[in-house]
Structure 1
Amino acid sequence: MRVKVTANKPGTARGDVFVAPFSADQMVGQTGALINDNSGDPVWFRPLPSSNLQNADFKVQTYYDARSGRGQPVLTWWQGSLALPPWYTNLPAGAPEPGGCYYIYDTHYRLLRTVFAHHGYYPDEHEFTLTRKGTALFLASKPVPMDLTPYGGPKNGAILDSEVQEVDLATGRLLYSWSALDHLDPADSEVSASSASSSDGVWDAFHLNSIDEGPGGQLLISARNMWAIYDVSKSSGRIRYQIGGKKSDFTLGPNADFYWQHDARFRPGNGISMFDDGCCDLPDGAPEQQSHGLILSLDFDNRRATAAKTYYHEPPLYSPTQGNTQALSNGNEFIGWGQSPYYSEYAGAGNTEGDGLQNLLHEAKLPGSNISYRAFRNEWIGTPYYPPSAAARAGGGGSVVYASWNGSTQTRAWQVLAGPDPDSLSAVVGHAPRSGFETAITTNNPGPYFQVRALDARGMVLKASKVVRRPG
């Protein structure tokens, strides 16, 4: 999948862009996990064999060893199948099908850990977070049979319960769990129980979609279908306060209300950030609003939440689902627009509705109806365990040699060797700076055998490809 970069100004944060493209309609390219640079060129791509298989929440994290406390950078993501009509109608749209898992890969793109959910729950695409304790916090879900007639649904129905789970990465042992069904009232849902008729009797009343662990041992949990964010005491499981929804403990000031929100995160100074989807399938009386990044400031004395900063898009976007707002190290904000095919970076001051180009520094658009559940900017150094790739053909009276190395972030130039047989490649016949994902190097040498070497910024050889033969 190739993106179209529509804005690329100075001042962006360091790092590359991490997306997991898929489509609920007609996929352009392949689903999978994709790293792009600022020009839109791929850095690493791990394709999946079927468009009915998806990745989500693809990002860089730190994997801590619980005994030594040392950490190493890793790639993490969810992999599985989503209930996307018309292919799957056994669960509410967007719910994970059974069989998913989480992957942790090292800087050489080798699998370190595979993580699964416990006691019958399905690993959920919405959240997978590594902690400094050598554990992983994630969301999992499963249908729980229930008589839904008190809520206006079928008698022999089920409710899609969401559960926070924490596992020890070294052993896979479950250390902690918190169930939405045990702590939230389904009657507060903004999704009618009658909707279960289109998903085999399963009602998605809660739809937990993010967890963030605070420094005081509390969890910030977003429940999309409740229009609410909960601060939960991790030790007791008690809800300390609720923002939004039908039982909000905070009054929401101008532009501070939100609907179908995603990615709730603690911010310094009593702040909370989220992606406010804000639109689509709203109950009567709720005013539709543009999707946008939102940072709230919480006044605990007066129990009032005010909009501190907002991040809008131009043209206006209305994303029914998904999305995220990421704080970057230089003060910028990175917005994944969820069900709209964009990702954007803004200077920290943001903008206001109707002024979506203000402070826009970087933006790209995914092709067709492709989307990514979240999008991130992360710093990453990849040193693949596998060699570079090479290919050669006749061209211009000589040869054109093509060099690429999926996932290498340190390759700055390519060196070409040639010879009359595979064991006689002593002559360096070409050299070129790395140019995008694949670099074409022209040489007058007929070969017919060629090999490429990846060079770092100092001109040192990182690794060599297999020897390839030019056809003809």
Structure 2
Amino acid sequence: MLQVRRSRRRPRTVGVCVLAAGCVVASSLPSAATSLERRASAQGGASRLCATKPFPPSQETPPPILSGSDVWRFVSEPRLRPMRVKVTANKPGTARGGVFTAPYSDERMVGQTGALINDNSGDPVWFRPLPSTNLQNSGFRVQKYYHGGKGKPVLTWWQGTTALPPSYTNLPSGAPEPGGCYYIYDNHYRLLKTVFAHHGYYPDFHEFTLTRRGTALFIASKPVPFDLSPYGGPNDGAIHNNEIQEVDLATGRLLFSWNALDHLDPADSKEPVSSASSSDGVWDPFHINSVEQGRDGRLLISARNMWAIYNVAKKSGRIRWQLGGDKSDFTFGPNAEFYWQHDARFRPGNRISMFDDGCCESPDTPAEQESHGLFLNLDFRARRATVDKTYYHQPPLFSASQGNTQGLSNGNRFIGWGQSPYYSEYARAGNTEGNGSKNLLYDAKMPGSDMSYRAFRNNWTGKPYYPPKAAARARDGGSVVYASWNGSTQTKAWQVLAGPDPDSLSVVVRHARRSGFETAVTTHNPGPYFQVRALDTDGNVLKTSRIVKLSR
């Protein structure tokens, strides 16, 4: 949820296009990906493109900034304009893998919005832009897709429109608009599955998790007409309700659902009902933003606007215990209390982790505290929660929304700072408030007001099914050939071919080491026809670009 700004209002939308029932939003993808992505969709069988058009805005949004020092520009991929991050710390000891973000902005976007993989230097590895800043991706990361008992790495994300004032005021700020869906891509960047919600709910960007059972566990949302007068609101209002859903990926069949209104009391919300006046009478008392199933089959559910985390028996739906909020079953040790939290996760040994926003939404917050990654020990006999580890930033950050705390395979922690434009990696020992530089291994800052709901470090091997790109420019009596291959993680070098006509090409540069997303290779050969080959570590040809002609 983002802070609400006042703007022109429009009538509240309570209905939904039930995509699971076959309602498909048809539109074009960004020109950089259109033909390739549609071809990948066709190869994906029954899967289909969805959420390719934003939900209609109530007022225009400013165009993105697509030039300047904060935006990447490539000669061989001119239609890709991702944001340029500034790496401020990069020390030995970081975990392997790239950084996965889904940049967007509630103000003026710097670069294109979309799904982005960066390496440790901040260079893009793969970028999939969206055609409008009113479309967003969220939760972009690597997961395992289990089919027939075997799991393979895939990319997953939510795609749709988020209610961000001033463009959208029909729903509470940060709510998903109708028409969203989830994408699953293979490591060739082909569409495998699109997943939709049931019961007339909107697929929600806060959570989408693949399980070993071949299912997807996620949050779905919709406004439900509701008499808010018992809580001090209008009698003709609505509650923005949440439902936990699990669907079978092979069939799309709904296997499980848990409805927040059936189990949580809106009166316990820390979000004042008066906030509904900024969203056409729709109140967001729960704002469930994460769900995880533990090994015992129980669910860990975070409700941001309740300041509470719930342990739920999946079979019965009963809340077994509550941590935080008005009816907490636990007391708290020093610095263990949290507010407006995100990303609650089970950890070994009666521990849980979260991202504690600690800030800044309401005057009811006992004391505004720095946002930080938080690990808690839960003593079930004494019913007491105490701090295990904390992860603070330098300079101190106060994120009013979003954020996550990821545990890495080497014991490090990766923190996405949500509404604050940073992501960071820490050694396991962490640090304390006022000492945010301790055990910091990696830190990067996004430009302008760009942010990512979550940020992850994941291992990923990308083998694009489409070819590399090339471009050639005349310079100083010779030629500069530009080579790139969006998403390839195996390309280590480039080979350049040239010739006087397309049928007479020969190798003119045998081995040019790859240098970032795009490599510029100088040759004295005038061409005017050029082609590039992507080489792996052993010098084997992975794929060859189309032939291009020299441009002056």
When the two structures are aligned, how many residues end up with a matched partner? 470
CA positional deviation for 1:427: 3.1
Instruction: Please list, as runs of the form range in 1=range in 2, the aligned pairs for 1:261-410 lying within 5 A after superposition.
Output: 261-284=341-364, 286-410=366-490
Q: Is the 8 A contact 1:430 1:441 kept in 2?
A: no
Q: Is the 8 A contact 2:222 2:240 kept in 1?
A: yes
Q: Is the 8 A contact 1:282 1:288 kept in 2?
A: no
Cα distance in 2 for residues equivalent to 1:265 and 1:185: 23
CA positional deviation for 1:430: 4.9
SS for the counterpart of 2:334 is coil
- 1:152 corresponds, among 214, 232, 238, to 232
CA separation of 1:145/1:77 partners in 2, compared to 1, >3 Å: closer, same or farther? same
Q: Is the 8 A contact 2:508 2:523 kept in 1?
A: no
Instruction: Please list, as runs of the form range in 1=range in 2, the aligned pairs for 1:80-91 lying within 5 A after superposition.
Output: 80-91=160-171
TM-score (norm 2): 0.85
1:389 alignment partner AA: K
- 1:227 corresponds, among 299, 307, 316, to 307
Cα distance in 1 for residues equivalent to 2:102 and 2:551: 36
Cα distance in 2 for residues equivalent to 1:384 and 1:202: 44
Matched, 1:7 2:97: no
SS for the counterpart of 1:393 is strand
CA positional deviation for 1:197: 1.1
Q: Is the 8 A contact 1:23 1:371 kept in 2?
A: yes
Unaligned runs of 5+ in 1: none
Cα distance in 2 for residues equivalent to 1:427 and 1:353: 58
| CA deviations over 1:331-351 (Å, ceiling 9, x no partner) | 000000000000000000000
1:244 alignment partner AA: G
Partner of 2:40: none
CA positional deviation for 1:426: 2.5
2:103 alignment partner AA: P
1:116 alignment partner AA: F
Matched, 1:209 2:323: no
TM-score (norm 1): 0.99
Partner of 1:97: 177
CA separation of 1:285/1:11 partners in 2, compared to 1, >3 Å: closer, same or farther? closer
2:105 alignment partner AA: S
| CA deviations over 1:181-217 (Å, ceiling 9, x no partner) | 1000000000111211110110000000001110001
Cα distance in 2 for residues equivalent to 1:194 and 1:313: 33
Q: Is the 8 A contact 2:271 2:362 kept in 1?
A: no
1:399 alignment partner AA: S
2:376 alignment partner AA: L
SS for the counterpart of 1:369 is coil
Partner of 1:165: 245
SS for the counterpart of 1:22 is coil
Cα distance in 1 for residues equivalent to 2:390 and 2:462: 34
1:38 alignment partner AA: N
**Greater shift in the superposed pair: 430-439 or 240-249:** 430-439
Cα distance in 2 for residues equivalent to 1:119 and 1:212: 21
- 1:39 corresponds, among 108, 121, 124, to 121
Q: Is the 8 A contact 2:394 2:435 kept in 1?
A: yes
Q: Is the 8 A contact 1:160 1:203 kept in 2?
A: yes
SS for the counterpart of 2:275 is helix
| CA deviations over 1:157-198 (Å, ceiling 9, x no partner) | 000110000000011111100011100000000011121111
- 1:186 corresponds, among 248, 266, 279, to 266
Partner of 2:138: 56
CA positional deviation for 1:285: 6.2
Cα distance in 1 for residues equivalent to 2:365 and 2:514: 56
Partner of 1:30: 112
Instruction: Report runs of 4+ in structure 1 exceeding 2 Å deviation.
Output: 281-285, 426-431
2:393 alignment partner AA: H
SS for the counterpart of 1:99 is coil
Q: Is the 8 A contact 2:207 2:219 kept in 1?
A: yes
Instruction: Please list, as runs of the form range in 1=range in 2, the aligned pairs for 1:128-143 lying within 5 A after superposition.
Output: 128-143=208-223
SS for the counterpart of 2:480 is strand
1:224 alignment partner AA: R
CA positional deviation for 1:320: 0.2
Q: Is the 8 A contact 1:430 1:443 kept in 2?
A: no
Q: Is the 8 A contact 1:152 1:192 kept in 2?
A: no
CA positional deviation for 1:425: 1.0
Cα distance in 2 for residues equivalent to 1:47 and 1:285: 38
Cα distance in 2 for residues equivalent to 1:177 and 1:210: 15
2:121 alignment partner AA: S
SS for the counterpart of 2:277 is helix
Partner of 2:154: 74
Q: CA RMSD in A?
A: 0.7
Q: Is the 8 A contact 2:359 2:365 kept in 1?
A: no
Matched, 1:118 2:195: no
Cα distance in 2 for residues equivalent to 1:41 and 1:347: 23
Cα distance in 2 for residues equivalent to 1:19 and 1:368: 15
SS for the counterpart of 1:367 is coil
SS for the counterpart of 1:372 is coil
CA positional deviation for 1:282: 2.9
1:451 alignment partner AA: Q
1:266 alignment partner AA: F
Cα distance in 1 for residues equivalent to 2:194 and 2:239: 28
1:52 alignment partner AA: N
2:115 alignment partner AA: A
